[in-house]
Structure 1
Amino acid sequence: MLASENTPIPSPIANAVFAEDKLSIGITLPITRDNQSIVDFQEQIALARLADHLGFRALWVRDVPLNSIDYPDPTGHLDPWVLLGALASNTERIALISGAIVLTLRHPLHVAKGAISVDTLSRRRFILGVGSGDRPPEYAAFGRDPDARRDLYRQHWETLAAAVTAPSRVIPDQAPDGAPEFYLLPRLNTSIPMLAVGSGGQSVDWIARHSLGWMTYHHEPQAQRGRYSMWRAAVDRAASGGFRAFGVAMRLDLSADANEPSTDISLGYRTGRRALVALLHKMRDGGTHHVTLNITSERRPARDIIEEVAAHVLPEFHR
């Protein structure tokens, strides 16, 4: 979130997750097995408490408004604001991040109200990640034109940014004669940081000017280096010498064999913990500031994976 196009507003929680020349590690919820459609969300809350206690830096929550038979993710996701509220009440230190609210399918003032509510409940631990969605049939179900996605994202971002930047300001869609001046409560004392998750149909220069940073999916190392170089050049153009974060969502199938070498899987790796540490060091050295782990628990309980990463991986990076 920016006070102007070139001056980021300091945010303690954003600085805890995204710091120059450092890498932090988070977890994406829910943690499920392949093709699992029914999720025990009480278990997910327990895993969130564990991650908070063990020192992970962030919990990420997705926004999946509608499911369909042709959508590859069968999981029944909770509404993100409901889940974020539960996480805010059940954790103490860990950052909570929406990854990402589908900004084009929600009214930005509703998004702002949800963001301010979670930020208040969590005592300033919320980072507002937003995206544009990528399923044309879902746009149609909400009466939106997918071809207008790019413009709609920018328009909604402007309204949302005004509402979650202290002092908060409501930009109404319409303001007929005699309309009162609206505002959002609770009042914001500090701005809520905003993060672009995916591109939202925007250029990297636009993202570098307006966002705390850019969060992307995992790509193979050469492609990822190219994406970071493109991002770094955009940041230099937007704010020479300034810091903007670069983060990655990475799937992790952690082997019980600590020495198993890493092998590619879709959007991530199957690996033992020692090779995982080496991979994360390379990512940090290549300019990645945060990695959120999409843990697959098909072969091992999720709790075991979280505990092993906390014991043997986090100490390498969370000093």
Structure 2
Amino acid sequence: MAYLSAMLKISALDLIRKPDRLTLGIELPLDNDWSPAGEARRVAAGRPRGVPDLSAQTDLVRRADALGFAAVWMRDVPVFDAVNMGDAGSVYDVFTLLGYFAGLTRNVALGTAAVVLPIRHPLMTAKAVASVDALSGGRLILGVASGDRPVEYPLLGLDFEARGLAFREAVAYLRQAWQPGGLPINGERIPNLDLLPRPAQQMIPMVVAGQARQDDAWLGTNMDGRFVYPGSVEKMTLQAARWHEATSGHGAFISAFHLDLLDDADAAAESIRFGARVGRKGLITHLNALAAAGVDHLAINLRQSGRPPAEIIEELASEVMPALVSNPKAQAA
């Protein structure tokens, strides 16, 4: 059973996991730099390849919040490795950005995909996470990972090969630090030391991105959800079934989708990296198939979109999300 579901009646996971439908979120950064038009603008602006255009992001996040999107997701990329990775992620420190959007939004869950736990001291992570959760009124979903960028570990004097053990230790520390009764030192809780602010949620949900060098049994016991790379409906069906078995059906199953939504609503789907170029009707069909496969939430990435992200957000809210209310999975149940 997932850790959180045994303890809480209400959590930020309730914002993205609905019994009757798949929910949609937005993955930052909110630009379309990976489209031909976006690449031309980047070159004209003199921005390095991999550094996103964030000029409209704040307004777009506000609009997504108002339109009923379930979540906004942001990545943890401490160092821009232009040669080996070529992607600066969301640019800003992930906890600073979370706090900023906590004050600008009212409804969406704020998710990380994902904070690399072993490269931070767990006490400082616990305080930053608790602060965001308190400031947002309990809307934080903490996506966590062990990290796949080896350059970060030597920069911090840390052992890349030990990241699996460090991940488990960090998870255990966070669970204790968010509860009253003292902070742990060398495995012993010191009752006169406390962590402030207290999170708004009794226990902040943790969602694992990738495997984090753990087996399914450990993840199913200690994680409240799973965030996987985009894949086919067939692949998602198998992954979701495995995860639901590991968590006795209590763990949320989340993925992402790179979308280039075409003007022609009837346009057939064409595969692109991590997603599809497709018209609205084909997208709705695909999303309902993912729901039937066991996917609870999908983070939409618009970086490959030929149309402006603002247009896509409006169309998703007005035309696509209402069509997802009748979830085949719920109907079958």
Q: What TM-score comes out, normalization by structure 1 length?
A: 0.89
Q: Which residue of 2 aligns with 1:284?
A: 291
Q: Which residue of 2 aligns with 1:54?
A: 67
1:75 Cα deviation (Å)? 4.8
Counterparts of 1:61-72 in structure 2, within 5 Å, are 61-68=74-81, 69-72=83-86
* Secondary structure at the counterpart of residue 257 of structure 1: coil
Check conservation: 2:254, 2:298, Cα contact below 8 A: yes
1:9 Cα deviation (Å)? 2.0
Check conservation: 1:11, 1:193, Cα contact below 8 A: no
Q: Which residue of 2 aligns with 1:239?
A: none
Q: Which residue of 2 aligns with 1:27?
A: 26
Check conservation: 1:109, 1:160, Cα contact below 8 A: yes
1:40 Cα deviation (Å)? 4.7
Moved over 6 A (4+): none
Check conservation: 2:25, 2:297, Cα contact below 8 A: yes
Q: Which residue of 1 aligns with 2:224?
A: 212
Check conservation: 1:97, 1:126, Cα contact below 8 A: yes
Q: Which residue of 1 aligns with 2:246?
A: 234
Counterparts of 1:107-256 in structure 2, within 5 Å, are 107-164=121-178, 166-167=179-180, 169-173=182-186, 181-188=192-199, 190-236=202-248, 242-256=249-263
* Structure 1 residues 35-81: Cα deviation after superposition (integer angstroms, max 9, x where no partner): 65444545211110000010000000110011112113145611011
Distance 2:19 2:131 in 1: 29
Amino acid at match of 2:321: L
1:173 Cα deviation (Å)? 4.7
Distance 1:169 1:11 in 2: 24
Distance 1:263 1:40 in 2: 26
* Structure 1 residues 270-301: Cα deviation after superposition (integer angstroms, max 9, x where no partner): 11111111000000001000000111255211
Check conservation: 2:22, 2:296, Cα contact below 8 A: yes
Q: Which residue of 2 aligns with 1:301?
A: 308
Cα gap change, 1:208 to 1:145, in 2 (>3 Å): same
Distance 1:168 1:78 in 2: 33
Percentage of matched positions with identical amino acids: 35
Of 88, 91, 109, which aligns to 1:95? 109
Distance 1:130 1:223 in 2: 22
Q: What TM-score comes out, normalization by structure 2 length?
A: 0.86
Amino acid at match of 2:246: A
**Unaligned 5+ residue runs, structure 2?**
40-48, 327-333
1:137 Cα deviation (Å)? 2.4
Check conservation: 2:126, 2:177, Cα contact below 8 A: yes
| C-alpha RMSD over aligned residues | 2.3
Distance 1:314 1:84 in 2: 25
Distance 1:207 1:162 in 2: 18
Deviates more, 1:251-260 or 1:20-29: 20-29
Cα gap change, 1:250 to 1:169, in 2 (>3 Å): farther
